[in-house]
Amino acid sequence: MNEAACSNLMDHFATLDDPRRNYGNLRHDFEAVLTIALCGMICGADDWFTIAEFGKAKQTWLETFLDLPNGIPSHDTFNDIFAKLEPQQFQECFIAWASSLSDLLPKDVVAIDGKALRGSYDKARSKPAIHMVSAWCAANEICLGQVKTEAKSNEITAIPKLLKMLNLDGALVTIDAMGCQKSIVQDIQDRNADYLLGVKDNQPTLHEAIHERFINAESTDFATDFVSSAVPPDAAPRHGTAVTCRVSQNLEGFERLTDAWVGLKSLIVIETEAGLGDQKTRERRLYISSRVENAEYFLAATRKHWQIENKLHWVLDVAYREDGARNRIGHSAENLSTLRRISLNILKNDKTAKLGIKSKRLTAGWDEAYLMRLLSDLKS
């Protein structure tokens, strides 16, 4: 049973190349190293030292399905292997495996956003913190994949690479204003997907045109434009915040913009008013989309987008202490980041334990039967 569960999972990573030399340091089986690292990460070990200690504590159990003739690798061995492991190949295996967990349905929201690994900043080597761009499936609540931004670059260059690696057929891709680029819009459409993108001053012509159209509609009390509106039932009582979403599919006079922004069909404006009494502040957030939907739909989609912050980035910082991880050698930080997301997907995939991620990690470390169930429940 244990061996079958392990094989079921590791089949997805069978194409990974062992980065070690062909002589001298092959005392430990490559698949065993990967499996111990993943099990350790699931069970609350957040760095190579604690992963090695986890292995020592669970050696008898691990030997029921792993070949460990030379015992558990040292933390230096884990660090050396993952520092040399090709990160793009590891991420491609991760994406292929995540696809087997996610039955992406048409109109599912796939949110894309970036996050810095703050602990990877290396002042001594003048090395900036690594920045990862992730994709999040709102319906399944799992991370679909991630890529690293290039040095001296930003999310604009990383997003197209991530899009090309994902199966986005029928999805609604949501990105904040950083991703509001004509080339990214084209990439999303080429993937047979739709987009919902924030618009800010980085696209001044588009931003001004939408804002002017909205102001003109507001002056007529939205009699003929931005007619579709929605207010979420939970918005008004919470912290004094009111939210109104309005949508227009009237693109008359926008011909120059629709030629530039492929597939553009909807203009969306969300207004928020926060505070109490005289201390209220109002904000307008503008969006464009290639979908024709009503205000309720787009309001729900923008809220789902923030799952990537609340259910991925926040969880990685709180339950995995990602910002505190100080791995800086080679590809160690990037590969450890991928390992965290694999672990998080496994824990998210489990619906049997009504626990938070941190508690699930602790339970997996205490209860070997629960850990094995986590591994066994994964699709092949």
Residues 316-372: pLDDT tens digits? 988 998 876 566 677 888 899 999 999 999 999 888 888 999 999 999 999 999 999
DSSP character at residue 380: -
- Residue 345 domain flag: no
- Residue 282 domain flag: yes
Strands (DSSP E) found in 253-326: 266-274, 281-289
Strand pairing class (172-175; 194-199): parallel
User: Are 136 and 17 in the same domain?
Assistant: no
Residue type, 320: Y
The answer, yes or no, to whether residue 63 has pLDDT greater than 70, is: yes
Other Cβ atoms within 10 Å of 256 Cβ, number:
10
Name the residue range of residue 258's domain: 97-310
Give the model's pLDDT for residue 378. 62
Question: Total domain count for the chain?
Answer: 2
User: Are 75 and 118 in the same domain?
Assistant: no
- Residue 134 domain flag: yes
Least confident of 3-17, 147-161, 196-210: 3-17
Residue ending a domain, choose from 257, 289, 310: 310
Residue ending a domain, choose from 290, 310, 330: 310
Other Cβ atoms within 10 Å of 343 Cβ, number:
26
pLDDT in tens, 246-301: 999 999 988 888 889 999 999 999 998 776 666 777 889 999 999 999 999 999 99
Q: Which two tokens mark 19? A: 């980065």
Residue with the two structure tokens 């900036």 = 128
Instruction: Using alpha carbons, list the distances in angstroms from residue 61 to 9, 312, 339, 365, 371.
Output: 17, 30, 21, 12, 11
- Residue 339 domain flag: no
- Residue 131 domain flag: yes
User: Are 141 and 283 in the same domain?
Assistant: yes
User: Are 126 and 202 in the same domain?
Assistant: yes
User: Are 50 and 73 in the same domain?
Assistant: yes
Contact 318, 149 (CB under 8 A): no
pTM for the full model? 0.88
Rounded to an integer, what distance in angstroms lies between the CA atom of residue 5 and that of residue 11? Answer: 10
Is residue 37 very low, low, confident or very high in pLDDT (cuts 50, 70, 90)?
very high
Count of alpha carbons within 13 Å of 353, Cβ hemisphere only? 22
At 196, phi and psi to the nearest 5? -140, 105
Give the model's pLDDT for residue 237. 46
Rounded to an integer, what distance in angstroms lies between the CA atom of residue 364 and that of residue 370? Answer: 6
What percentage of the chain has pLDDT greater than the value 70?
Answer: 85
- Residue 179 domain flag: yes
The answer, yes or no, to whether residue 102 has pLDDT greater than 90, is: no
Residue ending a domain, choose from 262, 288, 310: 310
User: Are 103 and 68 in the same domain?
Assistant: no
Residue with the two structure tokens 């503008």 = 286
User: Are 126 and 273 in the same domain?
Assistant: yes
